[in-house]
Amino acid sequence: MVIGVCTLTLHVFTAQSLKEKRQVVTSVLARVRNEFNVSIAEVGGQDTWQYTELGIACVSTDQAYAHGQLEAVVRFIERIRPEAPIGSYQIEML
C-alpha cells in the first residue's frame, strides 16, 4: 500500500477578505473532491486572507499511479483557478 501526500500553497490575490478567500477555497475543495478520488483539506493559512495551504492525500497499490493522481490534481487546480496561482507544491510517497 502506498500513500501519496501533496502539500500546495495557493495565493488568492483577488480576495479582499477572509470570506472571499474561503469562497475560493471551498470551491476548489468541492471541485477536486468531485473530480478525483482523493482527500483534500485546508491545512494552513486559515486566518490569512490571500494565502492558503492545502493538503491532498490518496491511497493506491501503485506508487506511479498515486504520484500521477496527485500531479493531475495540481494541474486541475491550476486550470480551474488561474486567478489563484499555486506558489509551490511538494509530493511525497509514504
> Per residue in 14-61, pLDDT tens?
888 999 999 999 999 999 999 999 999 999 988 888 899 999 999 999
User: For residue 18, what is the domain's CATH number?
Assistant: 3.30.70.1120
Euclidean distance between the first and final Cα of the chain, in Å? 9
Range of the domain at 48: 2-93
Q: What is the pLDDT of residue 80?
A: 93
Q: What is the pLDDT of residue 9?
A: 95
Q: What is the pLDDT of residue 57?
A: 98
pLDDT tier, 5 (very low <50, low <70, confident <90, very high otherwise): very high
pTM across the whole model: 0.90
Distance of CA 57 to the CA centre of its chain: 10
Task: Specify the 3-state DSSP secondary structure of 24.
Answer: helix
| Residue 60 to residue 28: CA distance in whole angstroms | 23
DSSP letter for each residue of 52-82: EEEEEEEEES-HHHHHHHHHHHHHHHHHH-T
Count how many domains the chain has. Answer: 1
- Phi, psi torsion values for 36, nearest 5 degrees: -125, 155
